[in-house]
Structure 1
Amino acid sequence: MKVIICGAGQVGYGIAERLAYENNDVTVIDNSNNLIHRIRDELDVCGIVGHGSQPDVLSAARAEDADMIIAATLYDEVNMVACQVAHSLFDVPTKIARIRAQPYLESHWSDLFSREHMPIDVIISPEVEVGEMVMRRIALPGATDAVRFADGEVSMIAIECLENCPVIDTPLGQLSELFPDLSALVVGIWRSGNLFVPRSSDVMIASDLAYVIVRTDRVRRTLNIFGHEEQAASRIVIMGGGNIGLYVASAIETRQPNAKVKIIENSRERAVLIANNLLRTIVLHGNALDQQILLEADIENADLMVALTNDDQINILSSVMSKRLGCQSSLTLLNNTSYYEFTKNLGIDAHLNPRSVTISKILQHVRRGRIRSVHSVQNGAAEIIEAEALETSPLLNTSIRSLSLPNGVRIGAIYRDNVVVVPNGNTVVKAHDRIIIFATADRLRQVEQMFRVSLEFF
């Protein structure tokens, strides 16, 4: 696949890195010499210095041969124009644009991005995607990652195995015998910096991070079985009143009307703006690293502190201060993956990477075959994929035991006729099943082949 990426920032770099690793033909465009030099030096991609919205630059990137353009610059308008030019002059089949300004996305302007007006096939809104991820984390205390598949009927949750976890040292194959109503499968384990797909004879040990695919109505029971009985937060302090902070506060007001929310925002002008847009949330103007402001926000009695500023270091330090002042738990936004290793030692309970969330959303449109959803874990070490099995899929009419799936691939659930099927070795895949599958990065191409659309289908 030939892909043009406009923007060599964190998101653009991350997408280019993933696609280049999978041997796609990738060209990255950015008007920064430094960013293009870096991407040329570090990745096997073509780099062009210029504006991705300009016809001559797209022509130099051989847009006429491209299968897809991903416009992920910092500027919404540049992204939109790049897609328009790619469509009008080069007939690029798939156009994806990152749009951050929420007024563009309001429902009564939904026709704006239609083929007749501004032909963008997929809109990615980082603030919405990250905001929803934060909301899932708030709703599921005890899970360090959470995402839904199959119209919300299936969930993937990442659960840390603590020392008192009741199911450590138990062969995974026995879990279904011990808990026959659980409807859950452990599909991946992150241990000492390595991610692997376990066998039924493997056991989990303390400090493992287990990736579990489970029926959504069994998520809380699954967390309880793993020893996580934390209650949902009702007193929440948000650091940072930017687009994500405002989105989260507004969503909490709508979905958790009994929760008490406070936001600390450093900019007075922004604090006034968000206060006018919220109904019950208390907005405090001040520095998130000011202990007096934290005490004014009653941080010592808070259940959860959510750090959502644009500065990783402020997010880390404010999380540490909040925990030391008595806050029960913390969730921290971190862009720099190099910080991940020591967050636990500092007492940060959970973190999320906005770049990873955005890349996951884009990847579901890059993957070949009938891919419905993609979620990337551990900075691209593996993906959870929801895909539809068509009549030509090699998976059909064969038991899972007989498929001889490669190491690094595990089917976690099947969604068939609005019913969730927890698979075992005797389960047979049928046409139009929606399969939720866990695959390590080195097996993604094989997974795509399982869901390929052959010419016979047409």
Structure 2
Amino acid sequence: MKAVVCGAGRVGYGIAKALSREGNAVTVVDWSPELISQITTDLDVRGVVGHGAHPESLERAGVADAELLVAVTHSDETNMIACQVAHSLFKTPMRIARVRAQAYLDPAWRGLFSTGNLPVDVVISPEQEVGRAILQRVETPGAFSTALFAGGRVQLLGIRMHEDSPVAGSSIEQIREIFPDLRLSLCGVNRDGKLFVPTVSDPLLADDEIYIAIEPKMLDRALQILGEKTEKVRRVIVIGAGNIGVYVARALERLGRVKVRLIEANKSRAEAAANQLKRTVVLHGDGLTPELLREAGVDRAELAVCVTNDDKVNLLSAVMAKREGAGRAICLVNEEAFKPLRDALEVDAFIDPRTTTVSTILQHIRRGRITGLQSIAGGLAEALEGVVLATSPLMGKSIDDLELPDNVTIGALVQDGEIFMPGEQAVVKEGDRMLLFAESDAVPKVERLFRVSLDYF
């Protein structure tokens, strides 16, 4: 496939990396010669210095022959016009735009992004995607990462093993013997920065970050066995009243059972948030001030969500909130260099907008073959949900007898609404949904398993 990516920032870089890794011909367009030089040096992609919405730049990038345009510059308007130009002048079949301003996304203007108006096939809102990721963590205490597949029937969790975990040092095989009622699949282990697909006999060590697939109804049981807290979130402190903070607060209001306090340093932004929210108490002040945190009741809060526009403020406010008594802290972090600080600062989870946005974009690009996708550990692996077709080499085989590529494992099989885990009796049928966990190098092979083709890698 030929693809043009407009924007060589963090998200553009991530998209170009994922597409080029899978053998696609990728061209990246950006105004910055420095960013183009860096991305063409790091990746097997072609670069064009120019404006992402200008016909001349897009023509030089080869958009006339491309099947896909992904516009992820820092300007919403540039992204939208790039899609318009690609459609009107070059007939590019698929067009994806990142749109951050919520004014464009108001349901009242739902007809804006259509072929007769602005021909954008898929609109990605990083703020909404990050907000959804945070809400999933609110619903899943004890996990640093979570994603839903198969319409919510299967959940993939990232959980850190602690020294005092009752099953530390045990393999998943031993855990199943001790707890036969525990139905889960161990998909991946991130140990000392190296992610691998484990065997059933590999021991789980302290400080391992493990990825498991389970049914949501088994969540509390699994967390208890793994030594994690399962206390439900009833009080939340949100620091930062930008698009993400307001989105999270509004969604928590809809849950009904959660009391929310929102802290914002900017007075006009705090007033705007207070006007938009119904039951959230909005406090104007600095989220790094212990007195204000105490006034917000941080010592009684199960969770602090730090989502200002400044990574450093988010990191420090997360540390302050936990020091003042918050049960857990989630932190929005854009800068890669800060990622290793999570453990040292004792922050429970980092939210990376780039990873979240890239996962969503890749899912839409692979629509029809892959129906769900989640990037894992900064791109070291992917969890992919696909529909089994009649021509798939997976057809007619027991889930324990599947001949999967190296570094790939099955997370779960959904068949006629029933969930099957590895070790359970089930034969793959046409139309089944299958969750596979693959190290990054094996992702193209996984895609081929779900293609309408008799060719098998």
TM over 0.5: yes
Deviates more, 1:418-427 or 1:237-246: 418-427
Q: Which residue matches 2:14?
A: 14
SS at match of 1:200: coil
- The TM-score normalised by the length of structure 1 is 0.95
- Structure 1 position 397 matched with structure 2 position 430: no
Contact 1:369 1:453 in 2 (8 A): no
Q: Which residue matches 2:249?
A: 249
Q: By how many angstroms is 1:167 displaced? A: 2.0
Alignment partners' CA distance in 2, 1:241 and 1:409: 41
Contact 1:369 1:448 in 2 (8 A): no
Q: By how many angstroms is 1:57 displaced? A: 1.0
Q: Which residue matches 1:359?
A: 358
Q: Which residue matches 1:177?
A: 177
Contact 1:265 1:271 in 2 (8 A): yes
Alignment partners' CA distance in 1, 2:178 and 2:115: 54
Structure 1 residues 425 and 409: alpha-carbon distance in aligned structure 2, compared to 1, 3 A threshold: farther
Q: Which residue matches 1:82?
A: 82
SS at match of 2:111: helix
Structure 1 residues 300 and 216: alpha-carbon distance in aligned structure 2, compared to 1, 3 A threshold: closer
- The TM-score normalised by the length of structure 2 is 0.95
SS at match of 2:312: helix
- Structure 1 position 162 matched with structure 2 position 162: yes
Amino acid aligned to 1:295: R
Structure 1 residues 448 and 206: alpha-carbon distance in aligned structure 2, compared to 1, 3 A threshold: same
Contact 1:400 1:429 in 2 (8 A): yes
Q: Which residue matches 2:232?
A: 232
Amino acid aligned to 1:313: K
Q: By how many angstroms is 1:217 displaced? A: 1.5
Alignment partners' CA distance in 2, 1:440 and 1:340: 20
Deviation track 1:200-228 (CA, whole Å, cap 9, x = no partner) reads 11121111111000112212221111111
Equivalent residues in 2 for 1:171-320, closer than 5 Å:
171-255=171-255, 257-320=256-319
Q: By how many angstroms is 1:345 displaced? A: 1.3
Amino acid aligned to 1:454: S
Contact 1:368 1:448 in 2 (8 A): no
Q: By how many angstroms is 1:303 displaced? A: 2.2
Q: Which residue matches 1:139?
A: 139
Deviates more, 1:333-342 or 1:168-177: 168-177
Q: By how many angstroms is 1:20 displaced? A: 2.4
Q: Which residue matches 2:343?
A: 344
Amino acid aligned to 1:346: L
Q: By how many angstroms is 1:10 displaced? A: 1.3
Alignment partners' CA distance in 2, 1:324 and 1:169: 30
Equivalent residues in 2 for 1:39-58, closer than 5 Å:
39-58=39-58
Q: By how many angstroms is 1:455 displaced? A: 8.1
Alignment partners' CA distance in 2, 1:397 and 1:230: 39
Deviation track 1:256-280 (CA, whole Å, cap 9, x = no partner) reads x232211111211111101000111
Q: Which residue matches 1:430?
A: 429
Amino acid aligned to 2:174: Q
Contact 1:185 1:412 in 2 (8 A): yes
Deviation track 1:143-163 (CA, whole Å, cap 9, x = no partner) reads 111110001111001111111
Contact 2:392 2:454 in 1 (8 A): no
Contact 1:236 1:259 in 2 (8 A): yes
Alignment partners' CA distance in 1, 2:230 and 2:216: 18
Structure 1 residues 455 and 211: alpha-carbon distance in aligned structure 2, compared to 1, 3 A threshold: closer
Alignment partners' CA distance in 2, 1:151 and 1:347: 33
Q: By how many angstroms is 1:423 displaced? A: 3.3
Q: By how many angstroms is 1:408 displaced? A: 1.0
Alignment partners' CA distance in 2, 1:385 and 1:324: 38
Q: By how many angstroms is 1:368 displaced? A: 7.6
SS at match of 2:8: coil
Deviation track 1:385-410 (CA, whole Å, cap 9, x = no partner) reads 00011111111112344433233101
Amino acid aligned to 2:60: A
Contact 2:220 2:230 in 1 (8 A): no
- Structure 1 position 328 matched with structure 2 position 310: no
Deviation track 1:70-96 (CA, whole Å, cap 9, x = no partner) reads 011122222111111111211111111
Contact 2:400 2:422 in 1 (8 A): no
Deviates more, 1:43-52 or 1:421-430: 421-430
Amino acid aligned to 2:353: P
Q: Runs of 5+ in structure 2 lacking a partner?
A: none
Structure 1 residues 403 and 299: alpha-carbon distance in aligned structure 2, compared to 1, 3 A threshold: closer
- Structure 1 position 450 matched with structure 2 position 449: yes
SS at match of 2:395: coil
Q: Runs of 5+ in structure 1 lacking a partner?
A: none
SS at match of 1:143: coil
Structure 1 residues 57 and 155: alpha-carbon distance in aligned structure 2, compared to 1, 3 A threshold: same
Alignment partners' CA distance in 2, 1:117 and 1:151: 31
Q: Which residue matches 1:123?
A: 123
Q: Which residue matches 1:421?
A: 420
